[in-house]
Amino acid sequence: MITEVYYNTPYNEKLYFNKKVNGVPTFDIMDAVKHHRGEFIEIYNYSDKDISLKNWYIKDLLKTFWLPEKTIKKGEFMVIAYSVLPYNTTNFTEHFSTTLGKESQIIYQDQIILRNKREEISLGYSFNGSNLFNKSNYSWDFQYEPSSNFVKNIYQNPAQFYDYNSLQYNPTTYPYGTYQATPNPLAATYVPVTQSYDDLVKNDFQDYYSYLDWTDNVNVLVDRICPITIEKVSQSPGGSYTNNGTSCFSYDTAGNLISGGGCSGVSTPPSGSSGLSPDELELIKNSIIISPNPTKASDSYNVTITWSGPASNKINNIQIFNSSGTTVYGFAPGTSVNTTTFNLQNQLPGAFVANFILNTGQVVSKNILKW
């Protein structure tokens, strides 16, 4: 939310037209670069989560300034300060010495110039670059233009910036935009109460879920698998055996009992493979490449799986399941085969699980996303 606005700077806010070019009055360039210096808008993240400022904006009655791709931490202030860009950039800390050492929390912009008599400022974000969702508003409207507070050569004594009040958040006044006090950038007397980020954005996400960008979550979703590895174990009971009372059992690759019964001509139970170690399974998994992942319309929803190195000749079967557990693709690679391609065009967007059944009967899994 917007927590403080310093709108009436003691710098020279009026441009003096002291030249003429082809009969048209023009102003001196040195006056222009000083125009409105010291103005700032302070914002505060009162949620319980760090937030990327990508797709967030500050807007006044005339223009919109899109904030840079920075992260504002939970419980942190940031200042959006006016300065001529990209040249003659004003160091904000020269005006307000209490912000020295906090340069990472200062954003410079040259789009928003605050007006002293009447102004409306909005802070918000957009899912798609066109629909703007205002989250905080700040406005003032005085009956008369405030008297000039211009301080000549203020750069020689910048401490005088603190002599002129700013508008500040104060929950004890209504409306809080009319509360004026000594400037306090990157700090506050009244700090907004922390609230749950999920609660704050829930309605927007529910109403405009089609605009959501899952970029920050893709790697988490792709790599999220059960961290538990169940090793294949074979046991042989001690002692001696005869054909009397001997039983043989058959199991599928997941270890489920298929059948059991008497055996003839078998003197000892068959011994199975001890399986691969967790480290060996991890090497095999890392040598399996799924691309592109996520798969999108621009890829025609084609997915290619390749494997090499530790996985070579160890994969007996590949099965792809959708989120409801239905098999959407199966492939049994032959010897020396190390690639397969399939298409998810006719499948709903979401997460898919790729199971790779090894020649030891063990299974490694990877996730596939379709956008």
Mean pLDDT score of the chain, rounded to an integer? 83
248 vs 83: which has the higher pLDDT:
83
pLDDT of residue 41: 97
pLDDT of residue 238: 59
Q: Give per-residue burial for 258-277: e unless 16+ CB within 10 Å, then b.
A: eeeeeeeeeeebeeeeebbe
User: Which residues are 304's β-sheet partners?
Assistant: 291, 341
Q: Supply the pTM of this predicted model.
A: 0.57
* CA-only gyration radius of the chain, Å: 33
Kindly give, in sequence order, each residue whose CB lies less than 8 Å from that of residue 308, ignoring residues fewer than 6 positions away: 287, 338
In this structure, what token pair is assigned to residue 139?
């406005």
pLDDT at residue 18 tops 90:
no
Q: How confident is the model at residue 261 (pLDDT cuts 50, 70, 90)?
A: low
**Domains in the chain: ranges and CATH:** 2-213 (2.60.40.1260), 217-228+276-370 (2.60.40.3080), 235-271 (no CATH)
Prior bond to 292 cis, omega within 30? yes
SS (H, E, C) the chain: CEEEEECCCCCCCCCCEEEEECCEEEECHHHHHHCCCCCEEEEECCECCCEECCCEEEECCCCEEECCCCEECCCCEEEEEECCCCCCCCCHHHHCHHHCCCHHHEEEECCCCCCCCEEEEEEEEECCCCCEEEEEEEEEECCCCCCCCCCCCHHHCHHHHHHCCEEECCCCCCCHHHCEECCCCCCCCCCCCCECHHHHHHHHHHHCHHHCCCHHHHHHHHHCCCCCCCCCCCCCCCCCCCCCCCEEEEECCCCCEEEEEECCCCCCCCCCCCCCCHHHHHHHHHCEEEECCCECHHHCCEEEEEECHHHCCCEEEEEEECCCCCEEEEECCCCCCCEEEEECCCCCCEEEEEEEEECCCCEEEEEEEEC
Q: How confident is the model at residue 153 (pLDDT cuts 50, 70, 90)?
A: confident
User: Which residues are 19's β-sheet partners?
Assistant: 26
pLDDT in tens, 100-140: 999 999 999 989 999 999 999 999 998 777 778 899 999 99
Integer Cα distance of 118 and 140 in angstroms: 5
pLDDT of residue 335: 87
pLDDT at residue 262 tops 60:
no
Q: What mean pLDDT do residues 363-367 have? A: 93
pLDDT of residue 270: 44
Q: What mean pLDDT do residues 89-93 have? A: 84
pLDDT in tens, 174-223: 766 568 999 999 999 999 999 999 888 888 877 776 666 566 566 666 66
